[in-house]
Amino acid sequence: MFRYIEKEARDSITAALEKLGIKVPPEIKLEEPPNPQLGDLASTVSFELAGELRRAPIEITADIMSVIETPEIFETIESKGPYINFFVDYGRFSSRLLESIQDDYGSHPSREERVILEHTSANPNGPLHIGHIRNAIIGDSLARILRMAGYDVETQYYVNDMGRQIAMIVWGLLNLDRDLEDYPGDKMDHRVGKLYFEVNQRLQENPGIRDEVDELIRKYEAGENEELFRKVVEYCLSGMEETMKRLHVHHDRFVWEGQFVRDGTVDRVIESLRKTGYTGENDVLYLDLEEFGLEKELVLTRSDGTSLYSTRDIAYHLQKSEEGDVIIDVLGSDHKLAAEQVGIAVELLGGKRPEVIFYEFITLPEGSMSTRRGVFISVDELMDEAHSRALDEVKKRRDLPDDVADDIAESIGNGAIRYYIARLSPEKHIVFRWDDALSFERGCASIQYAHARACKLLEKASFTGEEDIEDGWEPEGDERELVRLLARFPVVVEESALARRVHPVAQYAQDLANTFNSFYRSTPVIGSDFEGARLRLVDSVRKTIRNALNLLGIHAPETM
C-alpha cells in the first residue's frame, strides 16, 4: 500500500508538469517528512527542475500547486516552501490497508533471481563460539529477508575438512591412544574441541609434531585417511548443527572443500590462473595482484605442492558462480584482504565476484561470563546463560507451570541474543550486555511482549477476523502512527534485501512494538465505538510483528 501511495503522488506531479509543459524528470523523488505534521510524503521535484528551468524552486512549486489535482487517497496536497507535501486520507486508506494485511504480509512476488549465500562456515575443530555467532545470525536473517523479498535463496556452509586444524585432530586420534568418546562433554563438538586443545598443548611442547601434521595433510590430499578425516568433521558438525538448530540458524547445503581437490577442480583452477599471465613463482606459485591495486600477492600452493585454502576457495566460488545469479559471503572484517584477492582471481577466470558483508566482532564485558578453560565462550554456554536469566525474569513476573515458563524463557533468551546482534549495522563493534539484551522495556523482550499482548487482547475479544471496520473510523495519534508503520513493512523488507542489511528490520520491529505498547495503554479497544476497526488493527500489528521477528529468526510467543 505504501508503494501505491507513492505511485499516486508521482502520477499527480507528472500530470501537473505535463499541463505546465515542463519536461518530466526521469525520477520524481519522494521522501518521508521528519514530522507527520508535514505530511506523509514530500517531493523535492522543484529542486531537481530548478537548474534546467533557471528558476527558484519555490516558484516552480507555486506553478505546480496551481494545477495539481489531489488523488482520492490523499486528503490534501500542500506546499511547504519549495516542497510539495502529500497528506494521506486516513479514513479511506486505513480500511484498505487493514483489509490487505494477510498472514504472509510483507512478502513480494518472485524476482526469478537465485542467490547463493554462504555464512557461518566455522572450522569444525570445536564448538561454535561467540566469535562465530554474528556471522551466523547476520547470514541466516539476511536469507530470510531475501526470501520474503522474492529471491530464490540457497544458504551454504563451506566445510573446511582439509585445513591444519582438522589434521591436528586426526593426529591426536592416531597418536594419543584416545577416541573422541573418551573426552568429557555431552556434545560432540565440545569433545572435538577438547582434543584439539590437547594437541595444541602437545605441539607447544614438541614443535616437531608440525611435520607429522603436514604429512597427514599431504596424504589426505592424495586420498589417504579419508574415512578418519570425514569422521572427525562429521562428528564435530553434528554438534555444531545442534547448536545452530537451537539458535534457529539453518543451512540448505554443506559443501566440503575437499571435493574440489579430489575432482581435479583445484588443479584446473591453478592451470587456468597460470594462463592469465599474472602468476609468478618464488619457491611457491603465486598470483601477482599489483596491477589490480593490491601489493600483496595471493599464494596458490604450498612449497610441498599441496593446495591452500585460498585456491580451494576460488574453486568453490567458481562453482557458486555457475549455480547462482548473485553470490553473497558473510565474513569477519579481518578477511577483507583475502576476500579481495579471491574476488579478483574469480573474475579473472570468468566467475562472479561475490558481494561480501563484513562484520566487526562481538565481545562480552570483562567478567560477565567465563568458561572453565577461560579461552572462549561457546554459543551453547551463551544460550544457556540467556535461558537462565530469562527464566528468572519470567518467574518474577508470573506464576506459570515449569514447562510453560521454560518454553517462554527459551524464546526470550534466544530472541535476546539474535535481536541484540541483528539490531546494529555489521560495521559496528558489539559489546554484549545482558541487562540491555533481556530488558522488557527495550530490546527483543519488549517486541515479543507486544506480540503476546496483541494475542491476549484478541483472545479476550473472541476475535474471528471477520469483524467489520466501522464507517467513520479515522485513526488519530497512536492509531494513525500504527497505520503508517504497518504500511511501511513491505518497503522495509524490500529495502533491507536490496541493501543486504538486517538491522533495518530489527529497528522497524522495535518501532512498531513501541507504538503498539503506547496504543495499548492509551486507546480503548473492546467496547469502544470502533471496536471492529481497532481489533482488525491489533490483528494486523500481531501479524506484522510476528513476520518481522521471523525474519530475524525469533519466535513470537503468544503468552509471556
**Which amino acid is it at 64?**
I
pLDDT digits (tens, 9 = 90+) for 353-364: 999 999 998 877
pLDDT of residue 437: 73
Q: Per the structure block, which three cell numbers stand in for 98?
A: 487493514
Model confidence at 366, pLDDT cuts 50, 70, 90, reads low
Average pLDDT taken over every residue of the chain: 93
- Average pLDDT, stretch 334-340? 95
Model confidence at 373, pLDDT cuts 50, 70, 90, reads very low
pLDDT of residue 73: 95
C-alpha to C-alpha distances, 527 to 90, 451, 473, nearest whole angstrom: 22, 21, 15
Contact indicator for 140, 153 with CB cutoff of 8 Å: no
Q: Which sequence spans correspond to the domains of the chain?
A: 1-88, 379-552
Superfamily of structural domain 379-552: Isoleucyl-tRNA Synthetase; Domain 1 (1.10.730.10)
Angle among Cα 437, 141, 188 to the nearest 5 degrees reads 80
Model confidence at 265, pLDDT cuts 50, 70, 90, reads very high
Counting Cβ atoms within 10 Å, is residue 432 exposed (0-12), middle (13-18) or buried (19+)?
buried
Task: Cite the beta strand spans of 381-457 per DSSP E.
Answer: 430-431
Q: Per the structure block, which three cell numbers stand in for 390?
A: 530469562
Q: What is the maximum span of the chain, computed from C-alpha positions, in angstroms?
A: 90
Counting Cβ atoms within 10 Å, is residue 185 exposed (0-12), middle (13-18) or buried (19+)?
middle
Q: Per the structure block, which three cell numbers stand in for 439?
A: 530488558
pLDDT of residue 283: 83
DSSP assignment of 453-503? HHHHHHHHTT--S-PPPPTT----HHHHHHHHHHHHHHHHHHHHHHHT-SH
Model confidence at 182, pLDDT cuts 50, 70, 90, reads confident
Contact indicator for 285, 301 with CB cutoff of 8 Å: yes
3 state SS of 385 = helix
Q: Per the structure block, which three cell numbers stand in for 311?
A: 585456491
Contact indicator for 294, 341 with CB cutoff of 8 Å: yes
> Residue 371: pLDDT above 70?
no
Counting Cβ atoms within 10 Å, is residue 454 exposed (0-12), middle (13-18) or buried (19+)?
buried
Model confidence at 376, pLDDT cuts 50, 70, 90, reads low
CA distance 232 to 226: 10
Counting Cβ atoms within 10 Å, is residue 498 exposed (0-12), middle (13-18) or buried (19+)?
exposed
> Residue 313: pLDDT above 60?
yes
Query: Strand 326-332 relative to strand 114-118: parallel, antiparallel, unpaired?
Result: parallel
Q: For 187, list phi and psi in degrees, rounded to 5.
A: -110, 145
Q: Per the structure block, which three cell numbers stand in for 352?
A: 562472479
> Residue 375: pLDDT above 70?
no
Contact indicator for 357, 330 with CB cutoff of 8 Å: yes
pLDDT digits (tens, 9 = 90+) for 193-227: 999 999 999 998 999 999 999 999 889 988 889 99
> Residue 442: pLDDT above 80?
no
Query: Strand 326-332 relative to strand 355-359: parallel, antiparallel, unpaired?
Result: parallel
- Average pLDDT, stretch 1-24? 95
Contact indicator for 329, 357 with CB cutoff of 8 Å: yes
**Which amino acid is it at 136?**
A
For 203, how many CA atoms within 13 A lie in the half-sphere containing its CB? Answer: 18
Other CB atoms within 10 A of residue 183 CB: 17
Helices marked H in 423-462: 434-437, 444-460
Q: Per the structure block, which three cell numbers stand in for 440?
A: 522488557
Please choose, from the candidates 133, 153, 525, 464, the residue with its C-alpha nearest in 3D space to the C-alpha of residue 326: 153
pLDDT digits (tens, 9 = 90+) for 467-504: 999 999 999 999 999 999 999 999 999 999 999 999 99
Superfamily of structural domain 1-88: Arginyl tRNA synthetase N-terminal domain (3.30.1360.70)
Q: Per the structure block, which three cell numbers stand in for 350?
A: 570468468
DSSP assignment of 20-72? HTPPPPS---EE--SSGGG-SEEE-HHHHHHHHHTS-HHHHHHHHHHH----T
Distance between start and end Cα atoms, the chain: 32
Helices marked H in 222-335: 226-246, 258-262, 265-275, 309-323
Helix, strand, coil in percent for the chain, rounding step 5 = 55, 10, 30
> Residue 304: pLDDT above 80?
no
Query: Strand 355-359 relative to strand 362-363: parallel, antiparallel, unpaired?
Result: unpaired
Angle among Cα 544, 546, 549 to the nearest 5 degrees reads 105
| 293: CB partners within 8 A, 6+ apart | none
Query: Strand 298-299 relative to strand 41-43: parallel, antiparallel, unpaired?
Result: unpaired
Report the b/e string of 291-315 with b at 16+ CB within 10 A.
eeeeeebbbbbbeeebbbbbbbbbb
Q: For 496, list phi and psi in degrees, rounded to 5.
A: -65, -40
* Sole residue written with cell 494521506: 88
